[in-house]
Amino acid sequence: MTFQDIFKSSFLENVGSISFLDMFLALALAFCIGLFIFLIYKKTFSGVMYSSSFGITLVAITMITTLVILAVTSNVVLSLGMVGALSIVRFRAAIKEPLDIAFLFWAIGAGIVLAAGLIPLAVFGSMLIGVVLLVFANKKAHFNPYILVLRCRDSQSEAQAMAFVQNQVRRCVVKSKTVQNNSVELNLEIRMKDASTGFVNALSGLNGVEHAVLVSYNGDYMG
């Protein structure tokens, strides 16, 4: 019995179905596009703590997806078996930033398109997506919402503080209000006119204002 007789599914016949040059070019391009996605992720990151491992994961996902699609396109039977195998895989890693989901789909989509042989679409599509993310993700900081936590001594000082805040910011919305015996606590969503936060210092110095805390907000609280 020879080695080929052991594999009844023509395993050895599929070794040369994809040339080594095609495999090398596809994986090299996948690495370049994955590296480009990683650089865009690094430039546009605005979360609490930057994770370099997630950036490296984007490069790996692009290459792995390209590898899988190359195998799928070379053998229809293999593609059916691979779909069944991947259907039982469960990923339980928590995605904290909504934009991270876009980067994951970008890496997977670029790998699929590249392995399908649509190289111009993969390259120019990735460039266009990168430009869009750079333009819209790197907006000026003062356009982003902030949470202002304000504690006042009574309703009179509350009205004075609210009038001062509304005069200093572009937009002010009351999110919650807590009234106790000797204090009034407000949570305000504000959008500032510029990047300066000096008005918080003046606000804390008003008569009746016990403390004022400004927190950057993008879905999660972060200082």
Report pLDDT for 201.
83
Residue 35 confidence (pLDDT):
92
What local confidence, expressed as pLDDT, does residue 32 receive? 92
Beta bridge partners, 191, equal 171
What pLDDT score does 31 carry? 92
**pLDDT number for residue 77:** 56
- Residue 78 is predicted with a pLDDT of 57
The predicted pLDDT at position 128 comes to: 93
Residue 83 CB contacts under 8 Å (≥ 6 apart), including other chains: none
Instruction: Choose among 134, 146, 157, 160: nearest CA to 193.
Output: 146
Convert the pLDDT of each residue in 41-83 to its tens digit: 888 877 666 677 888 888 998 998 888 888 777 665 555 556 5
pTM of the model: 0.62
pLDDT at 6: 44
CB 69 within 8 A of CB 111: yes
Residue 147 in contact with residue 215, Cβ under 8 Å?
A: yes
Give 109: exposed, middle or buried? Use CB within 10 Å, 0-12, 13-18, 19+.
middle
Collect the ranges in the chain with pLDDT lower than 70: 1-18, 47-50, 74-96, 138-143, 217-223
Contact 145, 189 (CB under 8 A): yes
Question: Are 68 and 82 in contact, with CB atoms under 8 Å apart?
Answer: yes
Task: Read off the amino acid at residue 62.
Answer: T
